[in-house]
């Protein structure tokens, strides 16, 4: 884990990011006024139920959204707004400075090239390393992720299982020592024990290269285990952001509390009411129709509010910084 001072400069700052898609049935509001900071060396988990907009946020940062997307806001990295860069400028940053692990590895791998060579090629092309050295380093990275042996080095993506290809994607994302890794459901397709192992190795490699990790997942326990902070998204908006352990012990937003109650070890209680429409979301706080703490004011839009204090830590310890988008704060 990483100790961070609140006055540290972030390595990535997302400011008022809004994304909508034009579709035959209307405008899908996939992200609305999303703001967060990613600090150097930290792991920030972006969590929330399926369809809440997590992948859309990741793809926006990398300029990988399809043409029907309308994007507003800024993503400041190294003093520049990534959202306004040309494709040529962005392609220089992608992979080498900011890498992404996609949700679906089979779409991102070249089917007719050995996996080891795909990773080695990145070092040759982007860093100018000689072929033999690149292949050796690719082999080492694959080994760290549990894919060792000469036979694995000779294999093509179709010879690997989905879980193995997912690990190949993780290896590929880290081989160029990027400053930021965006991992979208990186443990998808891996079963429990292996997922934990791969994620732990990913965290170790990330620490070694001094990268920051934006971890996108709907696995709350994974987020708790490997992230320093957590941002909780609902229907395109961040509802709460703060230190992961603190959020787990004292969720402040009613949605976060409801999400945690869905966990088997916390009672397995589903959130009552239907998921909101992304085309015509509820006015005001989007969670209000399902919220147990609803009041009249919730029909108006709440602002993100900074809540200080530490709910569970001993008196006198440094206060955490929590931000919550709810009228109760
Ligand atoms: N190209 C697109 N055109 C129209 N709507 C889209 C498009 N891409 C995403 N969406 C919509 O945007 C919303 C957010 O999608 P997104 O993929 O970001 O969700 P997610 O939080 O990553 O979900 P999951 O956990 O299932 O991966 C969804 O309602 C989705 O249907
Ligand atoms: Mg997704």
Mutate to test the pocket of ligand 1, among 45, 56, 101, 222 (most ligand atoms within 8 A of CB): 56
Residue 156 domain flag: no
Q: How far is the CA of 58 from the centre of ligand 1 (A)?
A: 11
Determine which residue's CA is closest to atom 2 belonging to ligand 1. Answer: 21
pLDDT tens column, 237-276:
999 999 999 999 999 999 999 999 999 999 999 999 999 9
Give the residue among 49, 82, 3 at the shortest CA–CA distance from 270: 49
**What are 81's strand-pairing partners?**
76
Mean pLDDT estimate for the chain: 92
Enter the tokens of residue 240: 């709460």
31 CB within 6 A, ligand 1: no
Enter the tokens of residue 104: 């679906």
Least confident interval from 31-35, 149-153, 230-234: 149-153
Angle at 58 between CA 53 and CA 64, to 5 degrees: 110
Shortest-distance ligand to the CA of residue 218? 1
Helix (H) or strand (E) holding 35: strand 26-39
pLDDT band of 45, cuts 50, 70, 90: very high
Percent of the chain with pLDDT over 70: 95
d(CA 138, CA 147): 11
Shortest-distance ligand to the CA of residue 69? 1
50 CB within 6 A, ligand 1: yes
pLDDT tens column, 176-196:
999 999 999 998 888 888 888
Residue 197 domain flag: no
Q: How far is the CA of 54 from the centre of ligand 2 (A)?
A: 5
Q: How far is the CA of 297 from the centre of ligand 2 (A)?
A: 32
State yes or no: pLDDT of 156 exceeds 70.
Answer: yes
Domain of 252 in residue numbering reads as 10-89+213-325
- Residue 121: the pLDDT is 95
46 CB within 6 A, ligand 1: no
Helix 131-144 vs helix 115-127: crossing angle, to nearest 10? 130
State yes or no: pLDDT of 41 exceeds 90.
Answer: yes
- Residue 152: the pLDDT is 92
226 CB within 6 A, ligand 1: no
Residue 294 domain flag: yes
Give the residue among 52, 59, 146 at the shortest CA–CA distance from 100: 59
278 CB within 6 A, ligand 1: yes
Q: How far is the CA of 204 from the centre of ligand 2 (A)?
A: 24
Structural domains counted in the chain: 1
Residue 177 domain flag: no
d(CA 78, CA 250): 34
CATH number at residue 40: 3.40.50.300
317 CB within 6 A, ligand 1: no
- Residue 105: the pLDDT is 74
- Residue 92: the pLDDT is 93
pLDDT tens column, 77-100:
999 999 999 999 999 999 899 999
Residue 94 domain flag: no
Percent of the chain with pLDDT over 90: 81
DSSP 230-280: EEEEETTEEEEEEEHHHHHHS--SHHHHHHHHTSGGGT--PPSSPPPPSSS
- Residue 6: the pLDDT is 52
pTM equals 0.94
Residue 289 domain flag: yes
For residue 323, the tally of other CB atoms under 10 A from its CB is 20
């Amino acid at each position: 884990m990483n100790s961070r001072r609140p006055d540290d400069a972030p390595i990535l700052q997302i400011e008022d990011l809004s994304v909508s898609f034009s579709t035959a049935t209307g405008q899908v509001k996939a992200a609305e006024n999303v703001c967060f900071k990613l600090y150097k060396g930290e792991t920030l988990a972006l969590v929330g139920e399926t369809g809440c907009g997590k992948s859309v946020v990741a793809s926006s940062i990398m300029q990988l959204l399809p043409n029907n997307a309308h994007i507003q806001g800024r993503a400041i990295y190294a003093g520049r707004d990534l959202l306004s860069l040309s494709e040529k400028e962005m392609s220089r940053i992608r992979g080498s400075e900011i890498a992404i692990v996609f949700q679906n590895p089979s779409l991102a791998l070249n089917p007719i090239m050995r996996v080891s060579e795909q990773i080695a090629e990145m070092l040759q092309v982007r860093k100018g390393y000689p072929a033999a050295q690149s292949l050796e380093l690719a082999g080492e990275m694959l080994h760290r992720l549990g894919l060792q042996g000469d036979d694995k080095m000779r294999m093509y993506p179709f010879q690997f299982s989905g879980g193995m290809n997912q690990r190949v994607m993780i290896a590929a994302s880290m081989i160029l020592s990027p400053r930021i890794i965006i991992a979208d459901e990186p443990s998808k397709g891996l079963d429990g024990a292996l997922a934990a192992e791969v994620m732990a190795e990913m965290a170790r490699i990330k620490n070694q290269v001094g990268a920051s990790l934006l971890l996108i997942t709907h696995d709350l326990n994974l987020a708790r285990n490997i992230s320093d902070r957590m941002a909780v998204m609902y229907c395109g908006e961040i509802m709460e952001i703060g230190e992961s352990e603190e959020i787990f012990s004292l969720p402040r937003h009613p949605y976060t509390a409801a999400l945690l109650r869905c966990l088997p070890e916390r009672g397995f209680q589903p959130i009552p009411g239907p998921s909101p429409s992304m085309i015509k979301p509820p006015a005001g706080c989007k969670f209000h129709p399902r919220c147990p703490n609803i009041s009249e004011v919730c029909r108006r839009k709440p602002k993100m509010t900074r809540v200080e204090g530490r709910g569970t830590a001993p008196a006198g310890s440094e206060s955490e910084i929590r931000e919550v988008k709810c009228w109760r704060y």
